[in-house]
Structure 1
């Protein structure tokens, strides 16, 4: 009987509320359940705190309950090398990574990550995509792939070696087992480097156990941030690329389901992420080279390192021969670097 009385009271309140609503109709709101995405990054937890988490936190806050993106770190849901296929199947909804590491089945994937000497500085990446046509080329390439949408590319840090033993000449590279990216590893093998592929979270232990002699996966900022500076002793100031090129991708079905305002919000948050990395890495690289106490700096003489740069141009031509689109990208890189060199300092110093 008590339950019945409570029900009648509640029913009365509902009826009264309905009458009020009829007299003063509320603005129409389309009934819709909350959208949930699962996004996995290439980065481990410590690195993701900088390279993506702030922007995803901002998205979730501004989306105001309409959509929530759950962020997962390197290899947390699927191995990094399987991310593309998992996204394509819809196992996950979005990815932040370079094209190279996730084995994207497009000819331009070799230019993701660290394409040898493709860039000198982090600003080169957004300029190449937004002013020199790489954006349209990437859209074309991924437009040929079923159920994956390429969204945006940005720059990360330069590619240096941090090692257990010092590197002061090209001879010192020979036989070194190094964790690096697929295309970078293919290039470095020309100088005797032995590329090793391991899960990201296993790298620190692999150096400690002697399975790895070093890492060519980042700049000095990441070395300190993720703990690699604690297990290696030296940092080589020469780099094989001035900036890592990484992108955001989404499952096409899930992307197309989003209302336009959430798409735009996600684009804004990608841009926020790109901007944050520009200053975090740029300042961090200089600060830790001058103030860091864990890694001793070493260098290979410029005249000797030039042989690596010259070899990179041969590597470019080999990649260009693989497809007309790859040739188009290499042509753009050559034209861009010629412009930068002609412009002189601060664009290029040599």
Structure 2
């Protein structure tokens, strides 16, 4: 018994010595990202803020993304360069607005008459090969990772003082808008004007701008432009804006796989949120909105604009081989939708 007690005492002391000074495991500092969106704060509250808040919560302290709105850190036209050089870790924008050098950049934003509905765009990416084309385009550009695209709202024209009821009424109007659509609409005398997003409201009030060709009814009401503009043209130039998420390559490589997957999941959550928000908003505000007088260019006259888009498509297709592939996909998709008929296409 004496020997046993001595053994237990010795063992206890040894155990105490063993556990007295445990190794201290220090928590790794969270990964910090700075992400800037193309949108101002009122719009960003819907198009990206819910996603970033969801990601930060689900990342459980392992990673934190700080969100910046249009022009807060860098001008919108310098987003791509800032992303590439690491000033920003991530960007949400369309390719054209952020001045991407990719040979598919012109298809970002609003590509005239490429879609009828917002659901067309994700189908084109997921089922018709645009995912692979965009990935291959950005794989050729050092320092930037393309993470995926989603749909936003249709493109309408809103004007402050002059109603548009014919193609000729567009002539001479100075409008804030996205690059590719502006390039197309300039055929009809519309003058695209670039100003910082936050300055659009003041530019409308001072007369520097006559209107906007940037968004649909949901945004026009949400950000306050419908309070200044008097008229909304019901004819839309395309059914959905094409926006993407991008990351700096080095920043993305430092994110562990489970957090990369989490970011992509919350991207999809954001795409879904926007589909519902815009789709419901467009219909409701055209019917129940009381801030804009709705105008229409007669169908027969508007059909000439739709027809003109064919030559615009060919113009872009001639610029490079990858652009030609994108245009061929749009043509193929259009034929399928027209043959499918209701509910995919009405007339």
TM-score normalised by the chain length of structure 1:
0.92
Q: Paired residue for 1:116, among 90, 103, 112?
A: 112
**Structure 1 residue 234 and structure 2 residue 231: aligned?**
yes
Structure 2 residue runs without a partner (length 5+): 1-15
User: In structure 2, which of residues 174, 177, 181 is the aligned counterpart of residue 180 of structure 1?
Assistant: 177
Report the Cα offset of residue 326 of structure 1.
0.3
1:29-88 Cα offsets, whole Å, 9 max, x none, are: 785221000000000000000000001000000101100000000000000000000000
1: distance between equivalents of 2:36 and 2:319?
A: 30
- Distance of 1:301 and 1:307 partners within structure 2: 11
Q: Distance in 1 between matches of 2:265 and 2:177?
A: 30
Residue 175 (structure 2) pairs with residue 148 (structure 1)? no
- Higher Rg of the two aligned structures: 2
Find the partner of 2:325 among 318, 324, 328: 328
1:192 is matched with which residue? 189
Q: Does 90-99 or 163-172 show the bigger shift?
A: 163-172
**2:19 matched to which residue of 1?**
19
Matched pairs, number: 332
Counterpart for residue 285 of structure 1: 282
Structure 2 residue corresponding to 1:77, chosen from 73, 89, 92: 73
Q: Deviations over 1:62-121 (max 9, x none)?
A: 101100000000000000000000000000100000000011001100000000111111
For residue 125 of structure 1, the aligned residue among 117, 121, 124 is 121
1:56 aligns with 2:55: no
Partner of 1:96: 92
State the match for 1:307 in structure 2.
304
CA distance in 2, matches of 1:242, 1:343: 18
1:248-284 CA-to-partner distances (Å, cap 9, x unmatched) read: 0000011011100000000001000000000000000
How far apart in 2 are the matches of 1:191 and 1:212?
17
Using a 3 Å threshold, how does the CA distance of structure 1 residues 90 and 297 change in structure 2: closer, same or farther?
Answer: same
Distance 1:18 1:225 in 2: 64
Deviations along 1:210-237, one digit per CA (max 9) or x if unpaired, are 1111100000000010000011001000
Q: Secondary structure at the match of 1:241?
A: coil
Verify: 1:65 aligned to 2:65, yes or no. Answer: no
Cα distance in 2 for partners of 1:314, 1:347 equals 24
Question: What residue ranges of structure 1 are gaps of 5+ in the alignment?
Answer: 1-15
- Provide, for residues 9-34 of structure 1, a one-character-per-residue CA deviation record: whole Å limited to 9, x for no partner: xxxxxxx8982675xx99xx785221
Q: Distance in 2 between matches of 1:160 and 1:347?
A: 21
Change (3 A) 1:191 1:64: same
What is residue 339 of structure 1 aligned with on the other side?
Answer: 336
Q: Given the alignment of the two structures, is residue 135 of structure 1 paired with residue 131 of structure 2, yes or no?
A: yes
Alignment TM-score, normalising by the size of structure 2? 0.93
Following the alignment from structure 1 to structure 2, what is the Cα–Cα distance between the partners of residues 132 and 339? 11
Q: 1:267 aligns with which of 258, 261, 264?
A: 264
The alignment partner of 1:107 has SS state of: coil
Query: Which one is further off, 38-47 or 164-173?
Result: 164-173
Task: Give distance in 2, aligned partners of 1:177 and 1:335.
Answer: 35
SS at match of 2:104: helix
Aligned to 2:37: 41
Distance 2:305 2:191 in 1: 16
How far apart are the structure 2 equivalents of 1:270 and 1:30? 31
